[in-house]
Amino acid sequence: MQIYIDGEFFAKEDAKISVFDHGLLYGDGIFEGIRIYHNKVFRLKQHLDRLYRSAKYINLDIGTPIEEMEKIVLETCKRNGLSDGYIRLNVTRGVGTLGLAPKSCPKASIICIVDKLAIYPKEFYERGLALLTVSTRRNLGSALDPQTKTMNYLNNILAKLEAERSGFEEALMLNAEGYVAEAAADNVFIIQGNKLSTPATFLGALPGITRAAVLEIAPEFDLECLETHITLPDVYGAEECFLTGTAAEVIPVVEVDGRKIGDGKPGSRTNRIIERFHRLTREEGAPF
């Protein structure tokens, strides 16, 4: 495995960062998780656009043009030789002092890792997930905007821990007003009639790249797409439910809080969306 760190490539055992890096000390940084399918990087431009928007939100000067960042990602993929895999692209504030002050960090640090990743066991894609609505609420946008993909993921980790303690693979998170926001690591969709609904980003949902892909392909199945308020009763009463994410791809949900979704099996339209998404990953991508 070859890992890119600030202009150089290192073997996994030699890839190190400073203990004074503010990404480590304070979670001060941003990241993207990106997929490789069939020797191509899926929707790399959209991921990099989101990375640079996140950098602007936290007032982080990456110091590398987006075109150069694309070359870094593709070269890291090429050196690791995985036809299918997962990319973790991190940009931290960089090395500074023990104080909070960002001004002590003169230069951002860029880290690119390529490896295999399976976020859920294979059997859950076949039989579906059961979710638990957790007490951990999604971050307030006025505190830390959930639309920004920062390295501070403690909100999501606490939700994941709460679900795992009760024997669930995934958590369902609400926002401060009690509306559905997202899962701990994924976006949420429900199907009712001919409507495909997902929480609006202003309600606490990350504008996911896979989420956007599903919204694009759903009309092919005569589904009207809505980005809107979703309540727990909406989820409980849905005919179908599924999650989306770069690492998770598209995965069915068959139970929420002990209530079966539909007939308790992955829905037929969900399965067709999964099949269409997989076809999309074969059609698109930046080759390396």
pLDDT computed for residue 151 by the predictor? 95
Q: Are residues 89 and 127 in the same domain?
A: no
The DSSP element (H or E) to which 224 belongs, if any, is strand 224-228
Q: Are residues 139 and 103 in the same domain?
A: no
How many structural domains does the chain have?
2
Query: What distance in Å separates the CA atoms of residue 147 and residue 280, rounded to the nearest whole number?
Result: 25
Domain annotation covers residue 252: yes
Share of the chain above pLDDT 70, in %: 100
DSSP state of 95: B
pLDDT computed for residue 104 by the predictor? 97
pLDDT computed for residue 229 by the predictor? 97
pLDDT computed for residue 119 by the predictor? 85
Give 124-186 as a 3 state SS string.
Answer: HHHHCEEEEECCCCCCCCCCCCCCCCECCCHHHHHHHHHHHHCCCCEEEEECCCCCEEEECCC
pLDDT computed for residue 142 by the predictor? 85
Looking up residue 83, the CATH number of its domain turns out to be 3.30.470.10
Mean pLDDT for 68-75 is 98
Q: Which of 115, 139, 157 is the last residue of a domain?
A: 115
Domain annotation covers residue 288: no
Domain annotation covers residue 52: yes
- Range of the structural domain that residue 71 is part of: 2-115
Domain annotation covers residue 72: yes
Q: Which of 97, 115, 133 is the last residue of a domain?
A: 115
Computed over every residue of the chain, the mean pLDDT equals 96
3-state class (DSSP) for residue 27: coil
Q: Are residues 143 and 260 in the same domain?
A: yes
Query: What distance in Å separates the CA atoms of residue 14 and residue 143, rounded to the nearest whole number?
Result: 37
Domain annotation covers residue 143: yes
Binned at pLDDT 50, 70 and 90, residue 118 comes out as confident
Share of the chain above pLDDT 90, in %: 95
What pairs with residue 5 in β-bridges? 8, 111
pLDDT computed for residue 226 by the predictor? 98
Q: Are residues 55 and 183 in the same domain?
A: no
Cβ atoms within 10 Å of 115's Cβ, excluding its own? 13
State the pairing for strand pair 224-228/259-260: unpaired
Cβ atoms within 10 Å of 5's Cβ, excluding its own? 17
Q: Which of 115, 137, 157 is the last residue of a domain?
A: 115
Mean pLDDT for 26-33 is 97
pLDDT computed for residue 239 by the predictor? 98
Binned at pLDDT 50, 70 and 90, residue 141 comes out as confident
State the pairing for strand pair 170-174/180-183: antiparallel
Helix, strand, coil tally for the chain in percent (to 5): 35, 30, 40
Query: What distance in Å separates the CA atoms of residue 179 and residue 172, rounded to the nearest whole number?
Result: 11
CB 139 within 8 A of CB 204: yes
Least confident of 15-24, 134-143, 225-234: 134-143
Mean pLDDT for 184-201 is 97
